[in-house]
Structure 1
Amino acid sequence: MKRFVFIIAILFAFQTLSAQMFTKERVTNSVDNIDQKFLTWGYFIGYNQYDFNFDYNQNLKDIQVETTGGFHLGLIGDMRINNYLNLRLEPGVFFTTRNLKYDESYFNGMDFNNSDLLREVKSTYVHIPLLLKISTKRINNFKPFIVGGFSTALNLSSNQDNPNDNSAGEFRMTKNNYFYEIGFGIDMYLLYFKFTPSIRGIFSIKDENIRDVDPNSPWTGNIAKMQTRGVFINFTFQ
């Protein structure tokens, strides 16, 4: 269903663009004025893929992260600074799942079963970035840009306050996190709205792991630092 929505959005945009893409004709309707407004609004949907970056205390085999695609959606508030700079607030809700696979060497001398080697980490983030968008001069009906900034996120599935840890099958993370973000995209001026596909990388600047009660826990004892990183593909409508 998620892929179907993305395909429909892309096909709709490019069907509208087909008559404009390689011509010098400019769009003549009200969407032409959108870049001159001090404040504009919109929404986005997209695809995300989250990962973890680990630093270790000992030289054991890496924890393998199996990533799965996630879905997100949110709102956009855009403040025009000048013809080339915009300040943007993009609050959204992001859903993702990561599976952590441990090597048997982590359980050396301990009794374990196959379920101990796997931890499913489901996350639901309320993600709020503040971004600076730097655009080029508009070329016909296209305007490329780069974007960067900082963000905060509330992980509603963190298990931070759960008294149970991995010994009871619960992998815990911090509830609050902070990121820096950087990406690029292109504004496409259609007949009735502005459509923007973009791609962005996010990188956590905070250790998110909550250690188990046992300091020698096979699940968290060797983790010096655990930080989220990810890729967002956004489809924006303004």
Structure 2
Amino acid sequence: MRKIVVIILLVISTSGIAQKANNLFGKDPIINLENFQQQRVYFGFYLGFNSYDFKIDYKTVSEDIQAKKSTGFNVGLVADLRLHEHISLRFEPGLYYTKRDLQYPTSYFTQTPTNSDKLREVNSTYIHFPLLLKFSSLRTGNVRPYLLGGVSATLNLSSNAKSIDDNYNDLFRVKAWTTNYELGFGIDIFSEYFIFSPSIRGVFGLNNELIPDNNPD
């Protein structure tokens, strides 16, 4: 079982208030923060939303376990190291919260299950450690699109990895540490006082996150 995540990030690189839209996107915009990204290193923070899923691989042919996603939130810091005019290295540690519901088919039980027996609520709090390369295009006025990709490690504070209980005791267990690769795109919007950087990113788990039950059938 591996996780798949879609993350929407709203990154703010400095503090302040937004400039009027016509100054950002007009025909002859005022160029804001013209030399800001020429700095060797700069810092910021982000707020965002996420939607986690499970990718389930079955050892035998069986009915599918239904995974229901919900919208979570994330908050973190940004450290950007400029390597080249169009390339930078980014470290974006953050705290992510999300929830998933797993609905097990009746065929997975030896006795007739109740609705609560078939449902597993998986609440997760992650500390996320991504290391990414950001590839920026040429800046046009106050807009600069970019692509990014890299790898990350995730610590699940709600993994139940050390518990001796399992699904037979209504407890869902996953590994505490997982590794991922990430791909995404976004756009830097330069206001008078800060850079606003909305982006969409996919995070794809590389290893099996599931801890098997102690006495599987």
* Relative contact order higher in (CA < 8 Å, ≥ 6 apart): 2
Q: Please confirm whether the aligned pair reaches a TM-score higher than 0.5, indicating the same fold.
A: yes
User: Which shifted more, 14-23 or 57-66?
Assistant: 14-23
Q: Retained in 2: the 8 A contact 1:16–1:191?
A: no
- Deviation at 1:23? 2.0
Q: Work out the CA distance in 2 between the residues paired with 1:14 and 1:103.
A: 51
SS of equivalent residue, structure 2 residue 117: helix
- Deviation at 1:114? 1.7
Q: Work out the CA distance in 1 between the residues paired with 2:21 and 2:190.
A: 8
Aligned AA (2:78): I
Select which of 18, 25, 31 maps to 1:21: 25
Is 1:115 aligned to 2:119, yes or no?
A: no
TM-score under structure 2 length normalisation:
0.89
Unaligned segments of structure 2, at least 5 residues: 1-9, 11-15
Q: Work out the CA distance in 2 between the residues paired with 1:45 and 1:152.
A: 19
Per the alignment, residue 53 of structure 2 pairs with 51
Q: Report which of the two has the higher share of helix.
A: 1
- Deviation at 1:163? 1.2
SS of equivalent residue, structure 2 residue 141: coil
Per the alignment, residue 191 of structure 2 pairs with 190
SS of equivalent residue, structure 1 residue 139: coil
Q: Work out the CA distance in 1 between the residues paired with 2:166 and 2:70.
A: 24
Select which of 45, 48, 61 maps to 2:63: 61
Residue by residue over 1:163-182, the C-alpha shift from the partner in whole angstroms, topping out at 9 and shown as x without a partner, is: 11111111000000000000
- Deviation at 1:105? 1.4
TM-score under structure 1 length normalisation:
0.82
- Deviation at 1:13? 8.0
Aligned AA (1:177): T
Per the alignment, residue 99 of structure 1 pairs with 101
Q: Work out the CA distance in 1 between the residues paired with 2:55 and 2:49.
A: 20
Q: Work out the CA distance in 1 between the residues paired with 2:27 and 2:114.
A: 64
Per the alignment, residue 144 of structure 1 pairs with 145
Q: Retained in 2: the 8 A contact 1:181–1:203?
A: yes
SS of equivalent residue, structure 2 residue 185: strand
Matches within 5 A, 1:71-86: 71-86=73-88
SS of equivalent residue, structure 1 residue 180: strand
Q: Work out the CA distance in 1 between the residues paired with 2:167 and 2:145.
A: 46
Q: Work out the CA distance in 1 between the residues paired with 2:166 and 2:192.
A: 54
- Deviation at 1:24? 2.0
Is 1:39 aligned to 2:41, yes or no?
A: yes
Aligned AA (2:204): F
Residue by residue over 1:69-128, the C-alpha shift from the partner in whole angstroms, topping out at 9 and shown as x without a partner, is: 000000000000111000000000000000000111112x42422211100000000001
Is 1:158 aligned to 2:159, yes or no?
A: yes
Q: Retained in 2: the 8 A contact 1:20–1:141?
A: yes
Q: Retained in 2: the 8 A contact 1:136–1:144?
A: yes
Counting matched residue pairs gives 203
Q: Work out the CA distance in 1 between the residues paired with 2:54 and 2:19.
A: 38
RMSD between aligned alpha carbons?
A: 1.6
Seq. identity, %: 42
Residue by residue over 1:144-197, the C-alpha shift from the partner in whole angstroms, topping out at 9 and shown as x without a partner, is: 000000000000000000111111111000000000000000000001011100
Residue by residue over 1:24-49, the C-alpha shift from the partner in whole angstroms, topping out at 9 and shown as x without a partner, is: 22325xx2221100000000000000
Q: Work out the CA distance in 2 between the residues paired with 1:166 and 1:154.
A: 21
User: Which shifted more, 13-22 or 178-187?
Assistant: 13-22
